[in-house]
Structure 1
Amino acid sequence: MKKKKFWSLGVMLILVLSTILAACGASDNKDSGSKDASTGGDTASSSGKTELVYGRGGDSVALDPAVVTDGESFTVTANLYETLVNFGEQDVTINPGLAKSWEPSEDGLTYTFQLQEGVKFHDGTDFNAEAVVKNFERWKAGGEKHPYYSTQFVVGDTQVIESVTAEGDNTVVFKLSQPQAPFLKNLAMSPFAIASPTAFEANEEGLSTNPVGTGPFKFVDWKRTASITIEKNPDYYIDGLPKLEKVIYRSIPENSARLTALNAGEIDVADGLSPSDKTSIESNDKLQLIERPSMNVGYLGLTATRAPFDNVKVRQAVNHAIDKQTLVDAFYEGLAQPAKNPMPPVISGYNDDIPGYEYDPEKAKALLAEAGYDGKEIELWAMPVPRPYMPDGQKIAEAIQKNLADVGMPSKIVSYEWATYLDKAEKGEADAFLLGWTGDNGDADNFIYALLDGDNIGSNNYTFYDNQELHKLLVAAQTEIDEEKRNALYKQAQEIVFADAPWVPLAHSTPILAAGAELQNYIAHPTGSDRLDAVYFK
């Protein structure tokens, strides 16, 4: 949830047609796929420091990217594993990864990838075409264990990826059952990083606590709720990377405690900081402020299968009851804008003509009366960890609690440890819950279909909302290559979501991080998964 500041509209308007053309046109010169290891110039640290301590708000759920959906897990796995294709340093353009080139067919049903040679997994086994095949077979067979695979590559009962075939050691051919507009962008997502088949065939469950990828860093140990340590992969195939010897991810739940630890030199990077800290960071010459390009939405989910939110008028009433502008002013301090749609304005296909639900307590009271709401107390779930789209879940929940009380809806705030929170919400156990989403690939499909389509109940659709008219539009949009027609479908989809009100979209934020001034080449990615291979200390 993610799973994420504003990009240039030019970049964000790129859809798969332009991506395919770029891939075709550039495949001749994508002969290595290697990053420029010289980035940052002379990287010798004057202090001799080669260990980075990364402070974050919560622990990972698991270290097998195929089985998780939370950003804290991907924060770590992005440096242990790699995908076939990569996003750009600060955008979602498609670049080489474990595949150095690719060629789509004219009908968009076949993709042929040429793989990097000489790459090894951390367990010493070879990365090759057969390893890619086995990973996709594993995800396809895993069902609910691999939620992202079903979200991105299964539409109803249709498997989008019909087959994956190895042609020799270094060529992989994907055959699709239907065109998929965001196919390459999907492949670049963190959940589709390639793991060692030797590792998961021996102990698939063990991959969650003993990850084995091809990335620039290797797993060392995990002290639950405290720290995860990774170290330099000496056999990494890109010369000169990584520049750090070790990275330690420390869990420090309190925002202020993370900033205090950074000021004391106990950590080198502090993620998930409160927007209110921006001024103090900018005024401290020993620190640097890092803004993450915005590609997220924070929301209040209303579980549509639980009373009273099984009544659309109650859901609409709650939308009118919440004062979003005050929430943004109080908790985001100018680093967010109120949301009205389930995806941010930077995503192509955003419908700006939707008016949004204005803050109107009297209208909310009238709708509750029309719905026959009996005044029964609801549970309001507050996120236990800060995330880019939700800097302080408890305080935001308290503000929402007051808004609801003002219209006659009493609520009790509850919370759980992060992994438990996600698990219980996924099972539909919440009445109303705070959550959010950082876009994985910059495509509208990754917001509306992933989060609100009936196909994804039990994975990323925690509201259990299911509208068949919406489903038909989203399926059509997935296979539509014409950009204008595709955008029109997503705009229609947002009108349906607006009317049905399964969420209260709250805010699109610009998350901030801070780091010591000596840290170089830290690039915050819109997806929230930051690569640390080129980071170093001056």
Structure 2
Amino acid sequence: MYRRLHKASSGIAGICAGTILGVMAGLAATPALAAKDTLVIAIPGLPQGVDLDKHIGPQTWTMGAQLHEWGMDWEFGPYPFETGAYYDPTNISGFEYPIGYTNQNMSPSLMTGCDISEDGKTITYHLREGVVSAEGNEFTADDVIWRFDRERERPIIYALITRLFNLDQAEYEKVDDYTVRLTNPTPAPLGCAGLTNFYYPWLDSKAVEAHSTPDDPYGDNWIATHGGGFGAYHVTEWTPGKRAVMEANPNYWRGEPQIKRIIWLVVPESSGRLALLQKGTVDIAEALSPDELASLESSDVARPVAIRGNRQMWLILNNEMKPFDDPRVRQAINYLIPREEIVNDVYHGMAKEWSGVISSVTPGYQDLHPYSYDPEKAKQLLEEAGYGDGFEAELAYSAGIPEMENIAIALQSALAELNVRLDLKKLPVAAHSDLVQSKQAQMAFWIDSPIQPDVNYVINLVYTSGPLSLVNYNKFSDPKVDEMIKTGASIVDPEERLEHHKGVQERIQEGAAMGWVVEPYYRMGISRDIEDIDWNTTQFYRVAKIKIPD
């Protein structure tokens, strides 16, 4: 038996007419465009890359999802939130939703199974035989060990996820070509469920090594624009600022998909993406505003789609900057957020009022609902905090998310009633991301979607303090919360785990760690010819599932 033991890392270190014509001319030169085997997707821009250990963002998610497969999938089934609205995904024939996200049922993918011991300390992966990448290499235990080695040597996102799974001290070993065992000093309840996590993929180590150099031993440069996974597609073109092309993996273990080619077309302005969709020039338009999506209601070419899931609109309130260092001020802001107005007037119903500290579709969510719109309560809290005459603050938002500006204006108007004066600052996408992720924003809007449906994972990711608090952009700090999170991470019994975290959520909400705004739905416009599309909790769809009938 081949055996290697390793210590897993614990460190973390309006588009113009000429442009539309140019895009259409370029597509017309593509012979396969009119065929049922090519899909053209309009996106705001190519991502920095599709290396899931380094890159984060909407385009990384939708593009990376076509290149990778995961150890396990959530069970799929009918959409559980049918509304009858014109944007309801049930209007699409064959639409599927990850119902396993809430009922915790998984289905096999790259792994046929995963065993976890009764004490939660031993996890065994059983790899599927015969999974072959587009490069012609079979998925084996060596690829799993290589991925863990990469995490140990250059800990970035994988290492963060491993910590959230409580596996950062695990030892791992190859039992045979299709079996890997992890041994952990403490219980790791997410040892198997974590195999569904988008940021826990498995790469073709042979292909990566073939494109590695002494200065880049883990193939970062190649992975960034190729992915290197065992997914349904592989990259054949990557032209920054213009487009990327993916071709079907002829060896794909689920069977070669109907769509043989994907063209990711860069169209920076959402109005341009909408125009191309309405002309039938593209099949899918990503990142459309609620207003643009609503304009498709009566279109006979394209349909609007808005899917309720795990997205959240956060109002960052820097807990270490005045006046938000006082929890009474943060509570007051929460009482002033016009959630109903935002849902109805900004999102046209394509969002849900948010009244908890984690997504309402996450198991263990508590609908605590303490912060209904109440200006009088907000006024009382501001007076108690010494801000009865109001204050000034800067609110940053992204130019890349059109609805943020409308929400910012609505909030500015609501807060002005109590003489809280907001200076609205519209930032380019990169500058906005840098400001929020550096934790230097005083106030800022941010959309996120913690993707593991586990209450401890989400709370740990967003609200824990200290050096590993990567996504705690509010700089919220409560030693009692940290202690409860640490204790909860090792609780194996599902009912006990959920019960423990009720108190955690209540304490976080009482401390008003952030402004909880709304839960926006995932939105896109798609051709009315498309059937059998799905949606996944990392805000992506799988092209390999799509069917376009004759």
TM-score range for the pair, normalised by the shorter chain length: 0.7 to 0.9
Provide the rounded CA distance (Å) in 1 between the counterparts of 2:361 and 2:441. Answer: 30
Q: How many residues align?
A: 484
Matched, 1:363 2:371: no
Q: Is the 8 A contact 2:72 2:110 kept in 1?
A: yes
Matching residue's letter, 1:317: A
What is the aligned counterpart of 1:183 among 186, 191, 209?
191
Name 2:28's counterpart in structure 1. Answer: none
Deviation at 1:126, TM superposition (A): 4.1
Matching residue's letter, 1:149: A
Deviation at 1:428, TM superposition (A): 1.0
Task: Tell me the alpha carbon deviations over residues 266-296 of structure 1, each in whole angstroms, 9 at most, x when there is no partner.
Answer: 2101233333455543433333343424222
Deviation at 1:138, TM superposition (A): 1.8
Provide the rounded CA distance (Å) in 2 between the counterparts of 1:272 and 1:326. Answer: 22
Name 2:448's counterpart in structure 1. Answer: 437
Q: Is the 8 A contact 1:151 1:450 kept in 2?
A: no
Deviation at 1:127, TM superposition (A): 2.6
Provide the rounded CA distance (Å) in 2 between the counterparts of 1:192 and 1:160. Answer: 14
Name 2:56's counterpart in structure 1. Answer: 69
Name 1:247's counterpart in structure 2. Answer: 262
List aligned pairs for 1:316-331, cutoff 5 A: 316-331=331-346
What is the aligned counterpart of 1:128 among 140, 143, 146?
140
Name 1:119's counterpart in structure 2. Answer: 131
Provide the rounded CA distance (Å) in 2 between the counterparts of 1:370 and 1:225. Answer: 52
Residue 162 to residue 152, structure 1, CA distance change in 2 (3 Å): closer
What is the aligned counterpart of 2:240 among 219, 224, 241?
224
Deviation at 1:506, TM superposition (A): 0.8
Q: Secondary structure at 2:471's aligned position in 1?
A: coil
Q: Is the 8 A contact 2:116 2:192 kept in 1?
A: no
Matched, 1:56 2:66: no
Q: Secondary structure at 1:382's aligned position in 2?
A: strand
Matching residue's letter, 1:88: E
What is the aligned counterpart of 1:264 among 279, 287, 307?
279
Name 1:9's counterpart in structure 2. Answer: none
Provide the rounded CA distance (Å) in 2 between the counterparts of 1:479 and 1:318. Answer: 35
What is the aligned counterpart of 1:82 among 69, 78, 84?
69
List aligned pairs for 1:269-280, cutoff 5 A: 269-277=284-292, 280=295
Instruction: Please give the TM-score of this superposition, normalised by the length of structure 2.
Output: 0.81
What is the aligned counterpart of 1:149 among 159, 162, 169?
159
Deviation at 1:426, TM superposition (A): 1.4
Q: Identify unmatched segments of 5+ residues in structure 2.
A: 1-31, 77-96
Residue 431 to residue 61, structure 1, CA distance change in 2 (3 Å): farther
Question: RMSD in angstroms over aligned alpha carbons?
Answer: 2.7
Name 2:179's counterpart in structure 1. Answer: 171
Identity in percent? 25
Matching residue's letter, 1:95: S
Matching residue's letter, 1:493: V
Q: Secondary structure at 1:536's aligned position in 2?
A: coil
Q: Secondary structure at 1:348's aligned position in 2?
A: coil
Larger displacement relative to structure 2 (75-84 or 172-181): 172-181
Instruction: Please give the TM-score of this superposition, normalised by the length of structure 1.
Output: 0.82
Q: Secondary structure at 2:181's aligned position in 1?
A: strand
Matching residue's letter, 1:298: M
Provide the rounded CA distance (Å) in 2 between the counterparts of 1:215 and 1:208. Answer: 15
Task: Tell me the alpha carbon deviations over residues 178-224 of structure 1, each in whole angstroms, 9 at most, x when there is no partner.
Answer: 22333323221111111233526543431223421111111133333
Q: Secondary structure at 2:358's aligned position in 1?
A: coil
Name 1:484's counterpart in structure 2. Answer: 495
Matching residue's letter, 1:414: K
Name 1:100's counterpart in structure 2. Answer: 112
Provide the rounded CA distance (Å) in 1 between the counterparts of 2:176 and 2:133. Answer: 19
Provide the rounded CA distance (Å) in 2 between the counterparts of 1:120 and 1:216. Answer: 10
Provide the rounded CA distance (Å) in 2 between the counterparts of 1:221 and 1:463. Answer: 39
List aligned pairs for 1:341-356, cutoff 5 A: 341-352=356-367, 354-356=368-370
Provide the rounded CA distance (Å) in 2 between the counterparts of 1:357 and 1:211. Answer: 43
Provide the rounded CA distance (Å) in 1 between the counterparts of 2:161 and 2:489. Answer: 12
Residue 242 to residue 259, structure 1, CA distance change in 2 (3 Å): same
Q: Identify unmatched segments of 5+ residues in structure 1.
A: 1-44
